[in-house]
Chain A
Amino acid sequence: MAGRDYLGEFEHIVVLALLRLEERAYGVTVRQEIELRTHREVSIGAVYATLDRLETKGYVKSYRGEPTPERGGRSKRFFRVTAKGVAAVNRTQRALQSMSEGLGLIENYS
Chain B
Amino acid sequence: MTSPSFSLQPPHLAVRLVNLFTVPDNAEAIMGDLLEEFSQIADRAGVVFARQWYWRQALKTIVHLIYTAYRAAPWSTSAGVVGGFLTRRLLGRLVEPTIFAVLDRYQIPEHHFNMYVFFASTGIDIGYLLVFLFVGCIAALAAKEREMSAAMTLSLIFAAMAGTAAVSWVATGHYWILWRLTWNFADSFAILIGGAIVRTHRSATRLSGSRLNT
Given the complex of chains A and B, what is the CA–CA distance between A27 and B30 in angstroms?
7
Binary contact readout A41-79 vs B (1 if CB under 8 angstroms, 0 otherwise): 101111011001100000000000000111110111100
Binary contact readout B95-108 vs A (1 if CB under 8 angstroms, 0 otherwise): 00000000000000
Q: Are A77 and B64 in contact (CB under 8 A)?
A: no
Out of B35, B61, B63, which one reaches A71, CB within 8 Å?
B35
Q: Are A71 and B64 in contact (CB under 8 A)?
A: no
Q: Are B64 and A45 in contact (CB under 8 A)?
A: yes
Out of A45, A68, A71, which one reaches B65, CB within 8 Å?
A45
Q: Are B64 and A75 in contact (CB under 8 A)?
A: no
Interface residues of B, count at CB 8 A: 26
Contacts across chains A and B counted by CB atoms under 8 Å: 77
Given the complex of chains A and B, what is the CA–CA distance between A52 and B64 in angstroms?
13
CB of B184 within 8 Å of the partner chain? no
Given the complex of chains A and B, what is the CA–CA distance between A49 and B56 in angstroms?
17
Out of B35, B37, B61, B72, which one reaches A45, CB within 8 Å?
B61
Out of B26, B35, B62, B63, which one reaches A48, CB within 8 Å?
B26
CB of A80 within 8 Å of the partner chain? no
Chain B 47-96 interface residues, beta-carbon cutoff 8 Å to A: 56-57, 60-65, 68, 71-72
CB of B166 within 8 Å of the partner chain? no
Q: Are B29 and A76 in contact (CB under 8 A)?
A: yes
Counting chain B CB atoms within 10 Å of each CB, the highest count among A44, A71, A72 belongs to A44
Range of interface residues on A (Cβ < 8 Å): 20 to 34
Given the complex of chains A and B, what is the CA–CA distance between A99 and B72 in angstroms?
31
Q: Which residues of B contact A31 (CB under 8 A)?
A: 33, 37
Q: Kindly report which residue of chain A lies nearest to residue B67, judged by CB atoms.
A: A49
Q: Kindly report which residue of chain B lies nearest to residue A73, judged by CB atoms.
A: B32
Q: Kindly report which residue of chain B lies nearest to residue A47, judged by CB atoms.
A: B33
Q: Which residues of A contact B57 (CB under 8 A)?
A: 43-44
CB of B34 within 8 Å of the partner chain? yes
Q: Are A43 and B29 in contact (CB under 8 A)?
A: no
Q: Which residues of B contact A68 (CB under 8 A)?
A: 32, 36
Given the complex of chains A and B, what is the CA–CA distance between A52 and B6 in angstroms?
29
Chain A 13-56 interface residues, beta-carbon cutoff 8 Å to B: 26-28, 31-32, 41, 43-46, 48-49, 52-53
23 A–B contacts from the bound complex (CB under 8 Å): A28-B33, A31-B33, A32-B37, A43-B60, A43-B61, A43-B64, A44-B34, A45-B30, A45-B64, A45-B65, A45-B68, A49-B65, A49-B72, A52-B68, A52-B72, A53-B71, A53-B72, A69-B2, A71-B33, A71-B35, A72-B31, A76-B29, A77-B26
Chain A residues within CB distance 8 Å of chain B:
26-28, 31-32, 41, 43-46, 48-49, 52-53, 68-72, 74-77
Chain B residues within CB distance 8 Å of chain A:
2-3, 6, 26, 28-37, 39, 56-57, 60-65, 68, 71-72
